[in-house]
Amino acid sequence: MAEEVYESVICVKPEVHVYRIPPRASNRGYRAADWKLDEPAWSGRLRITAKGNVAFIKLEDKTSGELFAQAPVEQYPGTVVEAVTDSSRYFVVRIEDGNGRHAFIGLGFADRGDSFDFNVALQDHFKWVRQESELAKQEANQSTAPRLDLGFKEGQTIKINIGNIKKKDNPPAGASKSRPAGGGLLPPPPGAKGGAFVPPPGAPNPAPSAQPPSAALLDFGESPGNAKPSADLWGDFTTAASSGGNGGSNDAVHSGWVQF
């Protein structure tokens, strides 16, 4: 079933005049000054319709809409519609009666803007016709041309490279975190006395002094002989204490502290 073509209206002007024109004496073109512009042969309404690629200029009665004459236009500019040489408001139009007979009439607009719209409506229609023809040719060429096979072949892969993304390396399972190597000293163990002597750099570390256990310091029931310090530990302090009386012991104590 053939697709039905609809007729659309592309321009309507409420007032237009028709003139009888004399035969053209030469090829110089038509002149509106040669017409009797003050005595139009007919006045009415103009309507331009489009059906497919053909435009129809229809002259109709203002009141009843009865068709007075029409001119099928298949090309513009062309021989069906010609502009006069001395005015932009007048045209020469070839009308047809549908039986193969035609005649040339003068067509004029009272307003210059109406004549401009009449001209533009015909230009736009045939511009659209040319575009549709070019699109149809392109589609016909594409249908006959071999199609490109853009699908993936068997086993074919693509690689996508996305920049500026750093992959974080995950440590192996069970691996302990490495302890940062630092030059700081370890904190003292619990119970250690503050203010411990720190040897200067390069000096040999002194041997740690033997400290009596806390049980020995708190045991007051031991005999004085067991609690007596050794001579090596107290040195001159014990010697000076055993040399005299109370005054001498005091002097020995002071002299012993001085010797230290």
Assigned domain for 62 exists: yes
The string of pLDDT tens digits covering residues 64-108 is 989 999 999 999 888 899 999 999 999 999 999 888 889 999 999
- The Cα–Cα gap between 250 and 245 comes to 9
Q: Strand runs (DSSP E) across 42-131, as ranges?
A: 42-51, 54-60, 67-73, 81-83, 90-96, 102-108
21 within domain boundaries: yes
Q: Give the pLDDT confidence score for residue 158 in this predicted structure.
A: 81
Q: What's the confidence (pLDDT) of residue 140?
A: 77
pLDDT, residue 258, reads 45
Provide the residue range defining the domain that includes 28.
7-141
Q: Does 170 reside within a domain? A: no
CATH number for 78: 2.30.29.30
Residue 181 is predicted with a pLDDT of 54
- Interacting residues of 51 by C-beta distance below 8 A, sequence separation 6+: 5, 6, 7, 8
Domain contains 129: yes
CA distances from 115 to 10, 88, 141, 190, 235 (A): 14, 7, 40, 109, 137
**Positions of the chain with pLDDT lower than 70, given as ranges:** 1-3, 143, 145-148, 165-260
The pLDDT value given to residue 254: 45
State the Cα–Cα distance between residues 140 and 149, nearest whole angstrom: 19
**Distance, CA of 211 to CA of 6 (rounded, Å):** 119
- The pLDDT assigned to 113 comes to 93
